[in-house]
Amino acid sequence: MKYSFIAPRKKRLISGELRLVLFFFAVTIAMLVGTYVFLEYKTYDFVNERKNVALKEKSIKRSVEAMQEQIKTIEKEAKIVEQVTTSNAVMKESIRNLFDLVPEDITLSRAELEEKSLILYGTTPNKDTYEYMLHAPLRSIFNRSYTSFYPIENGWYRFVSSNYLDDETVEEIK
Amino acid sequence: MIERFYRKIFVAIVQDGGAHDVRVVVQKQKKLLNKESRKFEGKSALDEIRSYLSKYIDESPLHYVAVLNPAVKQGALTGCRNHLEEEIEEISGAKTLCQNEDWLLYSSMRELESLQTEYKKIGLDFIFSPFSVLEHFFKDKVHGGFALYALAQKDSFSVAFFEDGKLEYAHHYPMQEKNTLTLEDESSTMGFAVGIKEEDDIDKGISLDDIESLDDLDILEELDDLSEIEDLDNLDEIVEFSEDEPTFEEKRIVFPRGSEIKQEMDMFNNDYRRFELIQRTLARFYRGEHCHDRFVETIYIADAYGSGAELKQYLEEELFLNVSIRHIDVADEVIALAMAEEEEL
């Protein structure tokens, strides 16, 4: 209920001097709070940045590890390539030597060259030609040599020459 | 929130009998810390009040200065709207305050402004109507049955009829005028009431036979002016007033000092004057539209002046009313109203 004919005057709870003091306090507090907030933000930012850097470091480490793995693989592959090239060169040399071994009278129809064996299929005008011209050099190379002859219609012989090296010899060659 | 740190200072200024009764109540968190009263008189009273209050006002910004409205043109009406033509005429140019959507307080805008100007140096926060004080003082009674309530001050006499907390009729009588005015003069110059037409014969319509004999006593008008001591010599006329009362001569023997006699006579005159005003108000009410065949049986008087036993006696013997007189400290009531008002803010 309202009893009074007039409204009361507005009460100023804070005087001019006090207001000024409060203003300065407020400004100081605002500045402190601002500084605190700024530093907090910077700390947060720094922590974030550190986290990112750590993550980056981890990822770089991982990629370095992967690259090292790749390098290892490549090195292995390079070794293999070298081995293959060497073995190919050896093979090529062996094949060339083989063909050098074969005299003109003997015709080879098939040759199976493996690490420890050489199996030759061909035709020879006679067994002697084979014996002196081909078998002798083969025997000097391989440890064991077996030949089978099959006469054919024109009087020649089809032969299958199986030549084997022993493990020790292979080790020595290597 | 900051309010908790300040003391609340309530100041009540009650202007009565040419003096300013100033009451200061200091509170902190609704706990009474200090209460002081002082009376100021004379032309420089307001300046003295200002310098007296300055120590309190400077102490806390939460200070509230409340005054009891001393305006001549003020009153209260039943209902907040739909008033009679005379009522509308009276409240034009007046500030109104609706109470509980039931009744209306009003006071002349001009007088309120002049009061604010008068107290400009001190500053005013609340101006309360005597009817608010009356209602607040008798809050345990006004919500009861139909009864008449009066606030008796030196400078004014406020009469109101309440029923179930609702004001039915009210009249405010300023009494600054000299008591030498005749009854006929008073009806035209004193008092401020609306809604009921004044009639020259105030006894018309009162069913109580004995009242007429009292009103017919012209000698009482002469007795009003006690400054004229030579009237006291006219003992024959005074004897006619009441056989039971001691004569002035007898009184002079008992109280040889003139000031005491004057004081005694003042009391007597004031009591009789208030009796007349109550009688007049009752007559107006019974004649008016607000009566609705109701009859006043009880009257509660808030006495701020020290009304004597004579008033009670008159009312009981002449008007057959049940009379209850309670002493009121108006300043305390004004403080209480200011506190209630402040809580509403």
At B25-70, the pLDDT tens digits run 999 888 899 999 999 998 889 999 999 999 888 888 899 999 999 9
- pLDDT at residue A1, rounded to an integer: 53
Note whether A48 and A93 are same-domain residues.
Answer: yes
Same-domain pairing of A55 and A126: no
Domain match, A111 and A88 both: no
What's residue A174's pLDDT?
Answer: 66
Inter-chain CB proximity A13 and B61 less than 8 Å: yes
Query: Mutate which of A1, A2, A3 to test chain B, going by most B C-beta atoms within 10 A?
Result: A3
CB atoms B340 and A12 under 8 Å: no
Q: Is residue A88 part of a domain?
A: yes
- Single out the residue in A41, A76, A101 at which a domain terminates: A101
Q: Which of B61, B112, B337 has the CB atom closest to A3's CB atom?
A: B337
List the structure tokens of B101.
Answer: 């959507």
Instruction: List the structure tokens of B331.
Output: 């300043």
Domain termination residue (choose one: A101, A122, A151): A101
**Whether A136 and A87 share a structural domain:** no
- Are A61 and A90 members of one domain? yes
- Nearest Cα of chain A lies from the Cα of B206 at a distance, in angstroms, of 34
* Residue A4 forms contact with B (CB below 8 Å): yes
Domain tally for chain A? 2
Residue B107 near chain A (CB below 8 Å): yes
Residue A126 lies in a domain: yes
| Nearest Cβ partner for B3 among A1, A9, A13 | A13
Q: Are B188 and B269 in contact (CB under 8 A)?
A: no
What pLDDT is attached to residue B190? 42
Contact A2 B97 (CB under 8 A): yes
Q: CB distance from A17 to chain B under 8 Å?
A: no
Cα first-last separation, chain A: 119
Give the number of A-B residue pairs with CB atoms closer than 8 Å.
59
Q: Please report whether residue A143 resides in a domain.
A: yes
In chain A, whose CA is at the least distance from the CA of B94? A5
Out of A57-71, B190-204, B319-333, the most confident range is A57-71
Shared-domain flag, residues A79 and A124 = no
Residues A114 and A95 occupy one common structural domain: no
**Residue A2, in any domain of the structure:** no
Q: Indicate the residue type of A143.
A: N
Distance CA B116, CA B37 (A): 22
ipTM: 0.74
Given pLDDT bands bounded at 50, 70 and 90, which one contains residue B292?
A: confident
Phi then psi dihedrals of residue B49, to 5 deg:
-60, -40
Q: Do A3 and B341 touch (CB under 8 A)?
A: yes
Beta strands B126-128 and B166-174: pairing type? unpaired
pTM greater than the 0.90 cutoff: no
Asked if A92 and A109 sit in the same domain, the reply is no
Mean pLDDT of B74-94: 83
At A56 the pLDDT is: 96
Amino acid at A112: E
pLDDT score of A96: 85
- Among A101, A119, A152, the domain boundary falls at A101
CB burial readout B65-77, b (16+ within 10 A) else e: bbbbbbbbbbbbb
* Residues A113 and A148 reside in one and the same domain: yes
A159 and A96: one domain? no
On chain B, the residues whose CB falls within 8 A of the CB of A15 are: 61
Same domain, residue pair A53 and A125: no
> What is the average pLDDT score of chain B?
78
Q: How far apart are CA B266 and CA B224, in angstroms?
A: 8
Give the structural domain span for A25: 15-101
**The pairing of beta strand B31-41 with beta strand B19-28:** antiparallel
Give the containing element (helix H, strand E) for B105.
Answer: strand B103-108
User: Is A2 in a helix, a strand, or coil?
Assistant: coil
Average pLDDT of the segment spanning B287-308: 86
A1, B100: Cβ pair inside 8 Å? yes
- The Cα A26–Cα A15 span in angstroms is 16
Sheet-wide strand order for B166-174: B166-174, B156-163, B147-152, B298-303, B322-327
Per-10-residue mean pLDDT of chain A, 174 residues long, equals 86 84 95 97 96 96 96 94 87 83 89 88 92 88 91 92 87 73
Residue A7 lies in a domain: no
B114 interface with A at CB cutoff 8 Å = no
Note whether A6 contacts B: Cβ–Cβ < 8 A: yes
Task: Give the whole-number percent of chain B exceeding pLDDT 90.
Answer: 38
- Give the Å distances, CA to CA, from B118 to B45, B124, B178: 11, 10, 23
Contact B344 A2 (CB under 8 A): yes
Q: At a CB cut-off of 8 Å and minimum separation 6, what does A134 contact?
A: A101, A102, A103, A106, A120, A124, A161
Looking at the domain assignment, is residue A9 inside a domain? no
Give domain status of residue A6, yes or no. Answer: no
Return d(Cα A26, Cα A23) in angstroms, integer: 5
Judged by a CB distance cut-off of 8 A, whether residue A140 touches chain B is no
Asked if the structure places residue A1 within a domain, the reply is no
With CB atoms and an 8 Å threshold, state whether A3 touches B100. no
SS3 assignment, position A67 = helix
Quick one: A118 and A152 in the same domain?
Answer: yes
Q: Check: CB of residue B159 under 8 Å from CB of residue B278.
A: yes
